[in-house]
Structure 1
């Protein structure tokens, strides 16, 4: 197993995690990942990158079963408007590709928010930094290592 940037950062900071590999098909959706991991979709989180009307990027981490509320997110981020970054810009912006985007170890440190549904969970899963790789980590450790703000960011 070749370590990803996300794993190297966690190792360097001595943060406990479990690395899980799964077979990859054409479907890189979060729902499919949860199914491959045999996990409840409330515990598997996706990392979404946005761009604001002021051309700033913000990162949002939300359970795969949920949808991001861009209006709530814009308000929390302190900008007028947010939209999802175009998939063609993801790699050059974050260093990660669609389906393998981790909140840990992006090329640039962006302001990051995680949905409050992570609270009171012993662990969650986030991308390990490549397709077919997930990291099982405590939300507290993820919040600490990535300097993440907990907020209500999902659609009701």
Structure 2
């Protein structure tokens, strides 16, 4: 387990991993405040296989349920696939202000871990192709590297095919 938390201390995401006794590594990079494509920025700054770096998205399904989708940064989320995984008929991205309020994190730093409101969580099945994946550590410029199996266990996530074709 990594104990390096940086100058500001651990985030709620890191605290959730520590409380679960899960092994993880913090990966920090210098965030460019002009960047608006946070997943692509993290993949570029961290380097390595972009298929191992996952973004966390808040999605509104059937108009009233918010769920979390964790997908590789080099793919788009399929709205049909997340709606199907949830058992619903339709899905749309949550408004960024709603996502920040419901998760307790700023856009670009939303982690599937330690959210202030618990949401059903779905992780793309491609995560299982890797021994470890990287997800947001709860702030821009910080990721945590963790086993996808451990991530699913800590978040109570279901594994599903969530990637859009093409």
User: TM-score, normalized by length of structure 1?
Assistant: 0.96
Paired position in structure 1 for 2:149 = 140
Q: Report the counterpart of residue 77 of structure 1 in structure 2.
A: 86
Identify unmatched segments of 5+ residues in structure 1.
none
Q: Where do 1:6-155 residues align within 5 Å?
A: 6-25=13-32, 26-27=34-35, 28-155=37-164
Deviations 1:95-154 (A, max 9, x none): 011100000011111111111101131100000000011000011110111111110011
* Superposed displacement of residue 47, structure 1: 0.3
Q: Any stretches of 5+ residues in structure 2 without a counterpart? A: 1-5
Kept in 2, the 8 Å contact 1:54–1:79? The answer is: no
Show structure 1 runs of 4+ deviating over 4 A: none
CA deviation profile, 1:3-54 (whole Å, cap 9, x unmatched): 1001111111111000111101021421111110112210100000011224
Give the number of aligned pairs: 156
TM-score, with normalisation over the residues of structure 2?
A: 0.90
